[in-house]
Chain A
Amino acid sequence: MSIDIDVTHRFGAFRLAARFTGGAGVTALFGRSGSGKTSLINIIGGLLRPDRGRVVIDGVTLVDTDRGIFVPKHRRRLGYVFQEARLFPHMSVRRNLLYGRGFVPAGERVAVEPIVAMLGIGHLLERRPAGLSGGEKQRVAIGRALLASPRLLLMDEPLAALDESRKGEILPYIERLRDEMRLPIVYVSHSVAEVARLATTLVVLNAGEVAAAGPAAEVMQRLDLSPLTGPEGTGAVIDGTVAAQDERYGLTLVATPAGELRIPSVAKPVGAPVRLHIRARDVMLADRRPEGLSALNIIAGVIAEIGSPVGAAVEIRLDCQGVPLVARLTRLSLDRLGLAPGRTVFAVVKAVSFLPEEPGKREGSAADAAD
């Protein structure tokens, strides 16, 4: 699977000039509103015809302005999940789901039952979209896109119209598309939390241009991007595996190259991959290994980079045996500790500050522990 984009497009005073490649997993297009991320996904989906450039998905050229190629959207075989579910109001949920299936050659159709079961929408089939909750609508919209057998799924801020608990309801489904169905996804979002959780490849857009692109963990730790991600956004993404479950204290032990970390329990079997997002503001630094602290996670690392100060704060990137970690300190602390690149320090992270992988499933795991 490959996604190869190189386009320029101008509307009014805004100029989009983006070039990036993506692959399997989730390619996240991240940026503030007006950064051009929605225009970009619309160009991929065929909703917008770029002034110039190429869009090649998995070796199939969908757009090439030099060669006069523009495949119309209904022949692209790309699923599209919009911010608003856009269900057809005059059709039942079942007819909505089956709408795109008839256009797929008989041999390439996917089975309806597993998708309906995976999304948990079996009990809604005879209902009208008008009576569904926001989360239910979005699950039906995802199912409708999947049943059109897309070779790539486009998602344009699919959670933005939902409240926090509904977001937690949908996110695990998107992860299952990524991990179980192995469906490549292009995911547009302005939410750092969503991107940190889902992205395999991260493309950061700013004012119509690609500010950074690459593996998510690599791009997330870059200090020069924090003006784009915002003060809440900077942080490190660490991929690890479940090492053990501590049911007594409701904690999960995660093995990472930087050592074992304790986080609030996630309902995954031992050995399952877990992605942690540790925000810079949740990390403290000490110049020697601290003792007598309540914090459970103390990680040794070497200062790799000190960012340029913003107001009173400064961000510091650590290298902990190859694992990145970002801390935000005041400039005062930086000077008092005399921190400089190359020094070994100890990062302190409270277990509760880990953003859990699947907030929607935490209650389930608590119930399991009580058994």
Chain B
Amino acid sequence: MSWLELSPAEWTAVHLSLKVSFWAMLASLPFGIIVALLLARGRFWGHSLLNGIVHLPLVLPPVVTGFLLLILFGRRGPIGAFLDQYFGIVFSFRWTGAALACAVMAFPLMVRSIRLSIEAVDTRLEVAAGTLGANPVWVFVTVTLPLILPGIIAGMVIAFAKAMGEFGATITFVSNIPGETQTLSAAIYTFTQVPGGDAGAMRLTIVAVVIAMAALLLSEVLARGVARRIAAA
């Protein structure tokens, strides 16, 4: 069974993918909740435009999204240059750039999941909380947030899974540098491009399947626990 053993380089790719996906998921979560709230509850000019922009990565070719990120967040891009100059944050050809690409690609899925759960909340409960003296922020924290928790968890898991599988936008934006930006998908791709790489591709494929399955099972367990806690009245 020695062919199942991962080489150090392969471990690096797996580890990097987990790190990139984790941060992509976590960093986009606050934005995901805010945008989902805006889309679910907001009545403002540009609502459809915001909705379109959020969903664009879902329908654009990933390579286009990657290229746009390169233009905007590259060292000389308008946003990239600004962040580099004032905050010392660099995305291009770094793992942080891979996380950004994954976050952007997973964002529509996360927002969609959270938005659906917000739309399912009985707003009459929020009104009742208001009549009891709670201000809107406290109503959100104590009533809305606990009720949409299953949607948030589902959104986080699906964003994580999407990030684990992201390939096109990442490789376009931050290339395929072993140890820095070579994620699981990129490593599998590389294996398929060299003679005799099939065994390595298979090993990483098994890892990808196991991680994806574990994520789905975890989300199931979490969601069930939450559902029990907030059993509908």
Known: A90-B147, A130-B232. A104 touches B133 (CB 8 A): yes
A89 touches B132 (CB 8 A): no
A89 touches B124 (CB 8 A): no
Flag whether A52 is at the interface (Cβ < 8 A): no
Q: Which of A74-82, A159-167, A295-303 contacts B (4 or more CB under 8 A)?
A: A74-82
Flag whether A88 is at the interface (Cβ < 8 A): yes
Flag whether A250 is at the interface (Cβ < 8 A): no
Flag whether A47 is at the interface (Cβ < 8 A): yes
The bracket for how many chain B residues form the interface is: 20 to 34
A366 to B76, CA, bound (A): 90
Known: A47-B127, A86-B124. A148 touches B132 (CB 8 A): yes
Main secondary structure of the interface of B (DSSP, over half): helix
Main secondary structure of the interface of A (DSSP, over half): loop
A45 touches B131 (CB 8 A): yes
Contact among A84, A90, A99, A154 for B132, CB-based, below 8 A:
A99
A80 touches B128 (CB 8 A): yes
A47 to B231, CA, bound (A): 27
A148 touches B231 (CB 8 A): no
A90 touches B230 (CB 8 A): yes
- In the complex, what residue of chain B is closest to A75 when comparing beta carbons? B133
Residues of the A chain whose Cβ atoms lie less than 8 Å from the Cβ of B230: 89-90
- What 0/1 readout, one digit per residue, does chain A (146-163) give for beta carbons within 8 Å of chain B? 001000001000000000
Residues of the B chain whose Cβ atoms lie less than 8 Å from the Cβ of A87: 233
Flag whether A172 is at the interface (Cβ < 8 A): no
Contact among A86, A104, A130 for B128, CB-based, below 8 A:
A86
A76 to B131, CA, bound (A): 8
Flag whether B79 is at the interface (Cβ < 8 A): no
Return the 8 tightest CB-CB contacts between A and B, nearest first.
A103-B133, A100-B132, A90-B230, A80-B131, A89-B233, A86-B128, A129-B233, A90-B146
Q: List 6 A-B contacts (CB under 8 A).
A: A46-B130, A88-B128, A89-B232, A100-B134, A128-B231, A129-B233
